[in-house]
Structure 1
Amino acid sequence: MANEMTTTDKNEVDLQGGEALRSGPVYRPATDIYQSDDRVVIVTDMPGVAPEDVDVTLERRVLTIRGQVATEPPEGHRPFHGEYGVGDFERVFTLSEDIDRDKITARQAAGVLTLELPKAASAKPKKIAVGAA
């Protein structure tokens, strides 16, 4: 399951032919993928992205994660020194047919987005009972 997922492989995503959220760099966030018999879990780091600025879409078998970082300094402040490269995030995965599209969930806490992708019943391992002849 996890090895069937593909993604971009550059730290900065090239959006030629894609859709940019705004001008500026778009980064490929660090992502871990875990798998069990009944689900795949995708954990993606998107520091500085508020939950309302995360966009997760699934079109056909393509799962797209986008996040927009707020670039405004806190009220009453102006930029003085900056080392954090502000930009948006995007990650794209191609899912296998084994995912139950209708039961995917997403939650975000402390800049980490967690997606749970349950496997379809037909993809789960099935124990077959053996009877005596």
Structure 2
Amino acid sequence: MAAQNIPATLPVVRRTPTAAGPGESSVWTPNTDIYLTDDGLVIKVELAGMRKEDLELTVENHVLRIRGERHDGCRSHRCRFVVMEISYGRFESLIELPEGYDLSAAKASYQNGFLRIEVPFASSQRSEPFPVPIESA
């Protein structure tokens, strides 16, 4: 698809995960950029300090679910934060994509603290849930 045929805006919906239940820690949502290219959509998620093994990507009904857990470096009871701006613990991001993208052909890579997911324009659709593997860069 040529760049001139790409709409200026997309009905991409970011949904906030449901609140944690009693006894559960809260879930945070990582910073995310979503942009169009000539080939499709790129989703770039800021996840510094993670290992790809700690990330999970799944797709169901046009919704891309990105989740995992970032552990803090201070587990001692003697550790007291003076400033704490980095989010730790469980995270989740839900991104609902419109028709026209082939999530079954999505490719993901994790490098230098960024998860990059490339979703090409669709030629066919897949309806059952499936995982998206993360490649090493």
Q: TM-score of the superposition, structure 1-length normalised?
A: 0.70
**Cα deviation digits, residues 81-123 of structure 1 (max 9, x gap):** 332442222110111121112210111122211100011148x
Q: Tell me the distance in 1 between the aligned counterparts of 2:87 and 2:100.
A: 37
Q: Which consecutive residues of structure 2, in runs of 5 or more, have no partner in the other structure?
A: 1-6, 125-137
What SS does the corresponding residue of 2:50 show, helix, strand or coil? Answer: coil
Residue 79 and residue 51 in structure 1: after superposition, are their counterparts in 2 closer, same or farther (change >3 A)?
A: farther
Is the Cα contact below 8 Å between 2:103 and 2:119 reproduced in 1? yes
Residue 55 and residue 6 in structure 1: after superposition, are their counterparts in 2 closer, same or farther (change >3 A)?
A: same
Counterpart for residue 5 of structure 1: 12
Percent of aligned positions that are identical: 30
What SS does the corresponding residue of 2:100 show, helix, strand or coil? Answer: coil
Is the Cα contact below 8 Å between 2:20 and 2:26 reproduced in 1? no
Q: Which consecutive residues of structure 1, in runs of 5 or more, have no partner in the other structure?
A: 123-133
| Corresponding residue pairs, total | 113
Counterpart for residue 15 of structure 1: 19
Counterpart for residue 79 of structure 2: 80
Residue 100 and residue 85 in structure 1: after superposition, are their counterparts in 2 closer, same or farther (change >3 A)?
A: closer
Q: Tell me the distance in 1 between the aligned counterparts of 2:36 and 2:78.
A: 43
RMSD (Å), alpha carbons = 2.7
**Cα deviation digits, residues 39-87 of structure 1 (max 9, x gap):** 100001122321101011100111111021124648xx76523324422
Structure whose CA Rg is larger: 1
Residue 29 and residue 39 in structure 1: after superposition, are their counterparts in 2 closer, same or farther (change >3 A)?
A: same
Q: Which structure is higher in strand share?
A: 2
Is the Cα contact below 8 Å between 2:20 and 2:27 reproduced in 1? no
Is the Cα contact below 8 Å between 1:46 and 1:89 reproduced in 2? no
Q: Tell me the distance in 2 between the aligned counterparts of 1:91 and 1:59.
A: 13
Is the Cα contact below 8 Å between 1:39 and 1:118 reproduced in 2? yes
* Superposition map of 1:3-82 within 5 A: 3-8=10-15, 13-15=17-19, 23-71=24-72, 73=74, 79-82=78-81
Is the Cα contact below 8 Å between 1:64 and 1:93 reproduced in 2? yes
Q: Tell me the distance in 2 between the aligned counterparts of 1:119 and 1:79.
A: 52
Q: TM-score of the superposition, structure 2-length normalised?
A: 0.68
